[in-house]
Amino acid sequence: MASQSDHKATVIDGKFIAQTIRSEIAEEVRQLSEKYGKVPGLAVVIVGNRKDSQSYVGMKRKACAEVGIRSFDMNLPEQISEADLVSKVHELNENPDVHGILVQLPLPKHINEEKVLSEISLAKDVDGFHPLNIGKLAMKDREPLFQPCTPKGCLELLHRSGISIKGKRAVVVGRSNIVGLPVSLLLLKADATVTVVHSRSNDQESIIREADIIIAAAGQPMMIKGSWIKPGAAVIDVGTNAVDDPSRKSGYRLVGDVDFEEACKIAGCITPVPGGVGPMTVAMLLKNTLDGAKRVIVQ
């Protein structure tokens, strides 16, 4: 029997799985185009010029082009009023060539995020954050029109890696509206026994150590140590944290919420950062856009 120090977790290749999904989407888009003469359309609304938002949007545009989805970009000035932004969203709601609308967050301080997101047509809410979609996600025997992209990507990584969820103990670290909360609801729908650990939780380590499946989404660099992980557990690391690294040209490197090197010695499988969950989030956005288009085009 190999000693623990010889153990090496299987690294879940999110890039490869996402590329497989993109190929499947490209094929479906091609069939829609051939049969109905229409393709899915995704509108991305960006307010102001935050560098990180701009690069995300560029990545999404490129991903759309690769699978044949039309991009509609709306770059709006930082100082736009909430009312004007809402009317732009309404324009996109009315546009029959747009099947998905994504408002890049965060929005400037003077705009009420909740108000803007609730104005997106339910049938075009490809981010899955409309209160009605989240509400249906939270209820038994109800299905939202769209599931949020990052949580959906986490479960897809588990499914495509052959990891069963039913009856397993899953611990979600973090309770954000974007990842922690919806991924805990998705795991519950998949029949896991779910615990959410957050900044106010006592004895986080002992709770995490009982997990068969860990979804780390706390935004705390390398918070989860190898010793916190149950041998053989599946670890999905959503964290993307920049830490100083003078040896890098950029002066920093990206790390997850899990200490990857330590975790590899104990976990059964683990996603790397970068290259794990990130590519899946974009793939799920494309999938949601395709699904939204199919509801309209395929009558």
Q: Hey, how many other C-beta atoms are within 10 angstroms of the C-beta on 164?
A: 14
Residue 42 and residue 71 in contact, taking contact as beta carbons nearer than 8 Å? yes
Strands 252-255 and 234-237: unpaired
Residue 37: CB atoms within 10 Å: 8
- For residue 76, the Cα-to-chain-centroid distance in whole angstroms is 24
Whether 213 and 170 have beta carbons less than 8 Å apart is answered as yes
Q: Is 127 a catalytic residue?
A: yes
**60 classed as catalytic:** yes
Catalytic residue status for 147: no
Out of 88, 104, 212, 257, pick the active-site residue. Answer: 104
Tokens of 173: 């670290």
Distances (CA, A) of 227 to 207, 209, 277: 12, 8, 23
Selecting among 60, 136, 152, 287, the annotated active-site residue is: 60
Tokens (6 digits) for 212: 């068969």
User: Rounded to whole angstroms, how far apart are CA atoms 158 and 243?
Assistant: 27
Q: Is 291 helix (H, G, I), strand (E, B) or coil?
A: helix
DSSP-assigned beta bridge partners for residue 32: none
SS3 of 50-110: the string is CHHHHHHHHHHHHHHHHHCCEEEEEEECCCCCHHHHHHHHHHHHHCCCCCEEEECCCCCCC
Which of 125, 127, 237, 291 is catalytic? The answer is 127
Question: Of 158, 267, 260, which is closest to residue 208 (Cα–Cα)?
Answer: 267
What number of residues does the chain have? 299
Q: Just list the catalytic residues.
A: 60, 104, 127
